[in-house]
């Protein structure tokens, strides 16, 4: 992680990049079940991480694109789809 990202920005970027791969990643908004400030500022220290990756940086879109490229490869995609029930709505909520 090289910078903080809002969860809604992450979801919207996944949805947009997912379109490139023919994925239907709809963004849905759920009430946050945790008791915390909606607008808390996350502080992070990532010097060790940047040292580990040689200071290379990617945009959020590039990182998601690389991840989806891996997950949609032949063989990998089938394994993910075989366990899609673990990723569908209702897994982490009571919907």
From first to last of the 95 residues of the chain, give the pLDDT tens digit.
667 788 888 899 999 999 999 988 888 887 777 776 656 666 677 778 777 777 677 788 998 999 999 999 999 989 888 887 777 666 555 55
Q: What is the pLDDT of residue 58?
A: 77
The residues, ordered by sequence, that sit 6+ positions from 76 with a Cβ below 8 Å of its Cβ are 70
Q: What is the pLDDT of residue 5?
A: 80
Q: How far apart are CA 18 and CA 88, in angstroms?
A: 16
Burial class (CB in 10 A: 0-12, 13-18, 19+), 22: exposed
φ/ψ of 55, rounded to 5, equals 75, 0
- pTM higher than 0.95: no
Q: Are 25 and 15 in contact (CB under 8 A)?
A: yes
The domain ranges of the chain are 7-29+42-86
Q: What is the pLDDT of residue 90?
A: 63
């Amino acid at each position: 992680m090289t910078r903080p990202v809002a969860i809604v920005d992450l979801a919207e970027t996944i949805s947009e990049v997912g379109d490139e791969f023919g994925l239907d990643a709809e963004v849905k908004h759920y009430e946050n079940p945790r008791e915390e400030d909606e607008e808390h500022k996350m502080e992070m220290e990532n010097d060790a991480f940047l040292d580990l990756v040689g200071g290379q940086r990617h945009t959020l879109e590039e990182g998601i694109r690389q991840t989806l490229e891996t997950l949609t490869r032949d063989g990998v995609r089938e394994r993910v789809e075989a366990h899609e029930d673990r990723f569908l709505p209702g897994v982490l909520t009571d919907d």
